Structure 1
Amino acid sequence: MSIKMLSNKYKRIGLILFISGLIVGSTSISARQNFFEGWNAGSGLHQPIPALEPIFIEKYFGAFSIHVFDVIMLLGLIVYMLSKEKIEDDYINTLRLESFQLTSLLALTSAIILYIFSEDLKLSLDVFITLFLLAYLITFAIKKRLY
């Protein structure tokens, strides 16, 4: 079966989209507030969270722009994932399939375990998709290096 994929030059484009979305998304008020909450919970200290003001893109374009950059980050990962390697052969396609199978099983298993033990988990869809795509790319890179 032949898979239609993007050319290798799209790997750079996907990486640029991902990094720009990650940088803008990590500067949002909600991301910084979640960081402070996690820091306080992890350190055992219960310090008040400082009043956060919008910076960078959010300050000039509003909170909706952060959502747009989250989507750009996901699209960047997908473009990177669907781009060819420099040397593309049947072996790479087999590694892609094995990596996708392993990542799918891992994601489904972790989702079921999280659902069983934590009913009120607030994990948005974009976080789950991003973790799935990153896990796939890491699995593919490890399998490519091992074989």
Structure 2
Amino acid sequence: MNIQILPNWCKKLGASVFIIFSVLSGINDMKRGFNDAICNCDSTLTQNEEIKDNQQDIILPDTKSEKLLDRSELNKVHLFLVLSYIGLFTYILSKEKVEDDYINKLRLESYQLSVLLFIILSLIIFVFFKDLKLTFDYFLESFMLIYLIIFFFKKRIY
């Protein structure tokens, strides 16, 4: 059975889409991290002062607008992550310059080995880290990257 694979030029397109949107996602995460650190420090100081004055917690009126901003930023970061995964998937499905039965065999072997490694790693994580909660994107990204690394080394070694 032969799977329809995208043309070779899609490899460059997929790689560039993956790199661009991964960098944009990282920049947005970094901005959110800096903003959260600054907001937490400021709110902690103001809440401590208010507790000393009134002996009770007073919710600041700006927290609702900050939560609205965080939701729109989260949607943007989520969109960037989805587009970066689509770019990586496009790269995986693109043909090599020389596409023959040997490359198809390497793809199959790489896929099989990455599935086995991924299942073993998932079981190890499940057994030793019971309270660890990971979202689907960690598994998706790690599986695709493991596949690409194995395929790269198999192609270079053989």
TM-score range, shorter chain: 0.7 to 0.9
Q: What is the CA deviation profile of residues 64-109 of structure 1, one whole-angstrom value per residue up to 9, with x for unaligned ones? A: 1110010001101100000000000000000000000000000011
**What is the deviation of 1:30?**
6.8
| 51, 59, 70: which one aligns with 2:81 | 70
How many Å separate the matches in 1 of 2:7 and 2:135?
31
**What is the deviation of 1:62?**
2.9
Q: 1:17 to 1:6 in 2, by over 3 A?
A: same
**In the alignment, what sits opposite 2:61?**
none
User: Secondary structure at the residue paired with 1:51?
Assistant: helix
What letter corresponds to residue 139 of structure 1 in structure 2? Answer: I
For these two proteins, the number of residue pairs brought into alignment is: 127
What letter corresponds to residue 137 of structure 2 in structure 1? Answer: D
**In the alignment, what sits opposite 1:16?**
16
**What is the deviation of 1:29?**
3.6
TM-score, structure 2 length as denominator? Answer: 0.73
| 135, 140, 148: which one aligns with 1:129 | 140
Segments of 5+ residues of structure 1 without an aligned counterpart are 37-48, 53-57
1:51 aligns with 2:11: no
**In the alignment, what sits opposite 2:2?**
2
Q: 1:86 to 1:124 in 2, by over 3 A?
A: same
Segments of 5+ residues of structure 2 without an aligned counterpart are 40-68
Native 8 Å contact 1:95 1:143 kept in 2: yes
How many Å separate the matches in 1 of 2:31 and 2:143?
20
Native 8 Å contact 2:17 2:87 kept in 1: yes
Of Structure 1 and Structure 2, the greater helix share is in 2
Q: Which structure has the larger Rg over C-alpha atoms?
A: 2
**In the alignment, what sits opposite 2:115?**
104
Misfit runs of 4+, over 2 Å: 28-33
TM-score, structure 1 length as denominator? Answer: 0.78
Q: How much is the aligned-residue C-alpha RMSD, in angstroms?
A: 2.3
User: Secondary structure at the residue paired with 2:38?
Assistant: coil
What letter corresponds to residue 18 of structure 2 in structure 1? Answer: F
Q: 1:5 to 1:29 in 2, by over 3 A?
A: closer
How many Å separate the matches in 2 of 1:96 and 1:137?
9
1:114 aligns with 2:142: no
